């Protein structure tokens, strides 16, 4: 009887946890599915449990940025960067929040700091182009939205590539298949 309950205990624990998702994971999922109000509530729930969780602050900042609450996004993202200055997502979205608020010099500073984090060459090239546009002079609201959207698209592309690389199965051949011994044909089948 003891053995049976010992086998069932891990199974029951696994079943109990299968339906549970943390508020942070629910927030990330809502963010990927573009349900930003829901993401804000999930990230807020995660922060209620653990106020020092930087990834939840970053997610909250991104969700608020997506909702157009640039001031609130700035506050959350600055809190992340105060603790982790090399947090790339927070750095990028803080730059975008500054850009949308019309603070071009602050956006320039954050994008330059983002480049120092050695991002993927494709997003680095896009940021270089964006910096040239930002430094050229005052930007209309439409140009700000365009620059921000182009940088977000590149960041999304990089994130998707990273996730695909992580999810890619690694196939390893069994050692016995890698070596194929030579087959010796009987003499009667060999050409003269």
Residue 105 lies in a domain: yes
Kind and range of the H or E run holding 183: none
Question: pTM for the whole thing?
Answer: 0.76
Domain limits for position 161: 87-165
- 92 and 159 within one domain: yes
Give backbone dihedrals phi and psi of 191, rounded to 5 degrees, phi first.
-70, 150
Domain membership of residue 179 (yes or no) is: no
- Shared domain for 65 and 35, answered yes or no, is yes
Q: Band of the pLDDT at 187, cuts 50, 70, 90? A: low
Q: Is residue 48 part of a domain?
A: yes
Domain match, 104 and 122 both? yes
Same domain, 78 and 28: yes
Gap between the Cα atoms of 172 and 77, Å rounded: 42
Q: Give 66-106 pLDDT, tens digit per residue.
A: 999 999 999 999 999 999 999 999 999 999 999 999 999 99
Q: Are residues 158 and 92 in the same domain?
A: yes
pLDDT of 8 higher than 90: no
Residue 179 pLDDT exceeds 60? no
Structurally, how many domains does the chain consist of? 2
Same domain, 126 and 112: yes
CA distances to 21, 29, 38, 39, 69 from 24, in Å: 8, 9, 11, 9, 20
Q: Is residue 76 part of a domain?
A: yes
Q: Please indicate, yes or no, whether residues 42 and 106 belong to a single structural domain of this protein.
A: no
Residues 99, 78: one domain? no
Same domain, 107 and 151: yes
Question: How confident is the model over 26-39, as pLDDT tens digits?
Answer: 999 999 999 999 99
């Amino acid at each position: 009887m003891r053995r049976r309950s010992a086998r069932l205990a891990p199974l029951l624990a696994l079943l109990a946890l299968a339906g549970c998702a943390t508020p942070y994971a629910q927030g990330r999922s809502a963010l990927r599915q573009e349900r930003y109000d829901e993401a804000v509530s999930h990230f807020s729930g995660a922060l209620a449990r653990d106020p020092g969780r930087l990834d939840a602050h970053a997610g909250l900042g991104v969700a608020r940025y997506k909702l157009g609450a640039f001031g609130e996004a700035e506050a959350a993202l600055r809190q992340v960067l105060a603790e982790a200055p090399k947090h790339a997502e927070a750095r990028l979205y803080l730059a975008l929040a500054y850009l949308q608020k019309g603070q071009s010099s602050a956006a320039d500073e954050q994008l330059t700091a983002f480049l120092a984090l050695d991002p993927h060459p494709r997003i680095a090239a896009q940021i270089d182009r964006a910096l040239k546009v930002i430094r050229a002079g005052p930007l209309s609201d439409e140009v700000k939205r365009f620059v921000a959207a182009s940088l977000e698209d590149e960041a999304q592309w990089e994130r998707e590539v990273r996730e695909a690389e992580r999810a890619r199965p690694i196939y390893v051949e069994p050692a016995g298949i890698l070596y194929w011994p030579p087959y010796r044909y009987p003499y009667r089948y060999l050409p003269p």
